[in-house]
Structure 1
Amino acid sequence: MSKAQETVLEIDLSALKHNFDYLKSKLQKNTKFLAVVKAFAYGSDADAIALYLQELGVDYFAVAYTSEGVVLRDAGVTKPILVLHPLPVSFETIIERCLEPSIYNWKVLDEFLQVASDKNQKNYPIHLKFNTGLNRLGFNLEDIEPIHSITNASEAICIKSIFSHLAASEDLTEKAFTEQQIRAFTSITEKFITVFDYKPVLHLSNTSGILNYPEAHLDMVRSGIGLYGFGNSEKENKNFIPVAKLKSVISQIHHIEKGETVGYNRAYKSEATMTTATIPIGHADGVGRQYGQGKGFVIIEGQKAPIIGNVCMDMIMVDITSIDCEEGDEVIIFDASHTAEHLANTAQTISYELLTAISQRVKRVIKK
Structure 2
Amino acid sequence: MPHITVIGGGFAGLTAAVTAAETGAKVTVYEAHHTLGGRARTAEGRYKTNEGPHALYSGGPHWTWLRQRNLLGPLAPIPALEAARLRLHHKGALRRTPPFAMLKLLRRTSRQAPVDVDFMTWATEQAGEEGARAAAHYSAVALFHHDPGSLSAAFVQERLRRATKLPPEAHYPRGGWASVIDRMAARAWNLGVRMETLARVDALPQDGPVIVATSLDSARRLLKDDSLTWASGRTALIDLAVRTRRGDAFAVSDLDSPGWIERFTAQDRSLAPAGEQLVQGQIPIAPHESRADGVARAEHLLDLAFDGWRERVTWRREATANGRTGAVDLPGTSWRDRPAIDRGDGVYLVGDQVAAPGVLSEVSFNSALEAVTLALKVRQRLDLKRA
TM-score by length of 1: 0.30
Greater RCO, CA 8 A, separation 6+: 2
The answer to which structure has the higher strand fraction is 1
TM-score by length of 2: 0.29
